[in-house]
Copies of this chain bind each other. A is one copy, B any other.
Amino acid sequence: MKNIFVKTSLAVVFASAFFGSCRPKDTADAVSGDAAQKVYVAPGKYDEFYNFVSGGFSGQMSVYALPSARLLRVVPIFSVDPQSGYGYSEESKPMLNTSHGFVPWDDQHHLDMSQTNGEVDGRWIFANANNTPRIARVDLKTFKTVEIIELPNSAGNHSSPFITENTEYVVAGTRFSVPPDNSNGDVPINTYKENFKGYLSFVKVGKEGQMDIAFQIETPGVNWDLSHAGKGKSHGWFFFSCYNTEQANTLLEVNASQKDKDFIMAVNWKKAEEYIKAGKGKKIAAKYVHNTWDEKTHSAKSEMRNEVLVLDSKALKDICYMIPCPKSPHGCDVDPTGEFIVGSGKLAALIPVFSFDKMVKAIANKQFDGNYDGIPVIKYEAALHGEVKKPGLGPLHTEFDGRGNAYTTFFVSSEVVKWDIKTLKILDRHPTYYSPGHLMIPGGDSRKPFGKYMVVYNKITKDRYLPTGPELAQSAQLFDISGDKMKLLLDYPTIGEPHYAQAAPADLIRNNGQLKFYKIEENHNPFVTKGEKEAKVVRKGNRIDVYMTSIRSHFASDNIEGIKVGDEVYFHVTNLEQDWDVPHGFAIKGADNAELLIMPGETATLKWLPKKVGIYPFYCTDFCSALHQEMQGYVRVSPVGSTVPLTFSLGTNMPAK
């Protein structure tokens, strides 16, 4: 045991070395003189870029505008959002269903935007859930989560949701290998090597964006970490980094850091498709859900799937190849030409850059160093374009500017380093505050980066802003990368923990059919109320359906009687407004539920279980007009067995005294 803890404490020192000294003196000096003007977007003016930032442990996606770094909106994806009613309304609950039941939270690490010909196209953005493995799709016309698919045989969906250059596939690889779903899962944890497997999922994306697991590849049990698709010349291949090829199952901090090299695995998915066509896939039982949002009914449904098609990486010798990569690789990034694959070993002090052409040749020439659990291992030098020497300590992620330059974050030495992809020469370096994880250049993982700005997402904040107690927001830093040297423009705190991010020019999304409201005549929610005259309250046994409308500034109905303790009440509220930015809210006192935030033309349903006799006010929670405060109503709840008749009214004071 002693040895273990020596190593452990060394790792702690290693990680925290940077904080032993005071904060660097040049913090503010490093900013260029015109930074203020460069990040200032005057009131009423628009920013240049949309920036979509993963929320990490928030489970959501933040939408920023660059260069102002203003937070435009938080889009709920994997966590419930009491603010909007996401996960609380009857319509949205199925979105968060899983094979484990309703899950109110997840850990959202990476985003990837849909691409056409390798360029970001602004249609959808995909998001991974790390804890309970899933992929979500957000529609960028509505900024709404419209689809979530669960991933069987997986745990810790980390190397996801990276996509191919025409959005053919979005992928997912298990970070924590586990026994496959159709095996006996009740095995000792220390039988990891025998019983635990890795799975890589290739999820097909249809023309309208709909997702379907085309196939999974079973691999040895390791920790699959990050990935990126080939592009251009390497289109048809996918690259996945892994660590823990030691196959340790305890104290990975020490035990998964034993080998000098782990791997990047190159997957020939076009070849995999051929094997599928040839019937080499095996259907295995696996339960996972597919949740879809329907914009016509304004509601979600959740369907259980029962099997998945699996390819065996051992048996099919020519779809998977291992490329050795030093020191527990993390980031796995492909340059805009598709020729260079950058592996970032998180304990390394160099960056290996692999050549796609060399890799293909090495495979053809069988330049292998044996195999890893049946998968050929390409000789390191045979695939290597070269190494970036002395770049910094602890490289994590690399993005590209489209002008032949790469930018890599260094967690341990707290800096971002610019280097030339071909010559591997270091061109510039800049300190970051502190310990950067991901970084993002608009279009920076596509064939066409836009290359004007770079954002570095730091893991440690400490003294960068006014303190807020023990808990601090993570900090981002915006750089101008239009010149030879990187210029720090701005520090700003973020939501949740930002991991990977995406960005696109504003017009690409703004002019791509942004929806401003839902047309009431196209609302096919089964409980829609299309006009106030249709407002009604219906009892069936102990179920009460309230068909309600909201329009500035009243609800119809606003006096409801005849509800009894023990009833199950469904408020179906239709927002009759037909104008942009006139949502109404709905809340009722004492509800063990959230509010509803109902967009114009939409119907949403709040379930309410009245528990005590009394008068319960409900009201509009979203300031809507000068008479918003007056937008309220009352529900009378009578005892079990009461004979108070069911009545509903607006403005008439109808119910008898």
19 further A-B contacts with Cβ under 8 Å, apart from A12-B625, A39-B40, A40-B40, are A35-B40, A43-B488, A43-B491, A47-B466, A59-B83, A69-B70, A107-B595, A132-B590, A142-B469, A186-B613, A191-B657, A250-B559, A252-B627, A459-B624, A460-B581, A466-B509, A470-B581, A471-B599, A497-B622
Which residues of the other chain, B, contact A1 by a CB distance below 8 angstroms?
651-652
Is A284 located at the chain interface by the 8 A CB criterion? no
- Chain B CB count within 10 A is highest, among A133, A467, A551, A590, for A467
Contact bitstring A38-56, B, C-beta under 8 A = 1, else 0: 0110111111001000011
Is A423 located at the chain interface by the 8 A CB criterion? no
From A243, which residue of chain B is reached at the shortest CB distance? B629
Contacting B at CB under 8 A, from A230-267, are: 243-244, 249-257
Interchain CB contact under 8 A, B554 and A253 = yes
Interchain CB contact under 8 A, A80 and B83 = no
Interchain CB contact under 8 A, B510 and A43 = no
Which residues of the other chain, B, contact A55 by a CB distance below 8 angstroms?
83
Interchain CB contact under 8 A, A632 and B176 = yes
Task: Report the Cα distance A552→B12, complex, angstroms.
Answer: 6
Task: Report the Cα distance A567→B496, complex, angstroms.
Answer: 31
Selected A-B contacts with CB under 8 Å, 7 pairs: A80-B80, A144-B469, A185-B612, A188-B636, A250-B559, A251-B554, A466-B506
The interface-forming segment of A22-30, A299-307, A313-321 is A22-30
The interface-forming segment of A97-105, A274-282, A370-378 is A97-105
Task: Report the Cα distance A243→B627, complex, angstroms.
Answer: 11
Shortest C-beta distance, A631 to chain B (Å), equals: 7
Which residues of the other chain, B, contact A223 by a CB distance below 8 angstroms?
629
Which residues of the other chain, B, contact A629 by a CB distance below 8 angstroms?
175, 223, 225, 243, 328, 330, 346
Interchain CB contact under 8 A, B554 and A8 = yes
Contacting B at CB under 8 A, from A298-351, are: 328, 330, 346-347
Shortest C-beta distance, A629 to chain B (Å), equals: 7
From A59, which residue of chain B is reached at the shortest CB distance? B82
From A11, which residue of chain B is reached at the shortest CB distance? B627
Interchain CB contact under 8 A, B73 and A473 = yes
- Chain B CB count within 10 A is highest, among A469, A585, A595, for A469
Contact bitstring A484-511, B, C-beta under 8 A = 1, else 0: 0000101111011100000000100110
Interchain CB contact under 8 A, A466 and B72 = yes
Interchain CB contact under 8 A, A638 and B583 = no
Interface of A is mostly: loop
The residue that A250 contacts in the complex, of B257, B497, B558, B581, with Cβ under 8 A, is B558
Tallying the copies of this chain within the complex gives 2
Shortest C-beta distance, A357 to chain B (Å), equals: 30
Interchain CB contact under 8 A, A625 and B15 = yes
Q: In the A-B complex, list the 8 residue pairs whose CB atoms are closest, starting with the nearest.
A: A27-B44, A185-B614, A15-B625, A36-B40, A100-B590, A176-B617, A143-B469, A252-B630
Interchain CB contact under 8 A, B469 and A617 = no
Contacting B at CB under 8 A, from A547-593, are: 551-554, 558-559, 561, 579-581, 583, 585, 587-593
Contact bitstring A502-540, B, C-beta under 8 A = 1, else 0: 000010011000111110000000000000000000000
Task: Report the Cα distance A431→B553, complex, angstroms.
Answer: 24
Shortest C-beta distance, A346 to chain B (Å), equals: 6
Contacting B at CB under 8 A, from A82-121, are: 82-84, 88, 98-105, 107
Is A362 located at the chain interface by the 8 A CB criterion? no
Contacting B at CB under 8 A, from A180-203, are: 184-191, 196
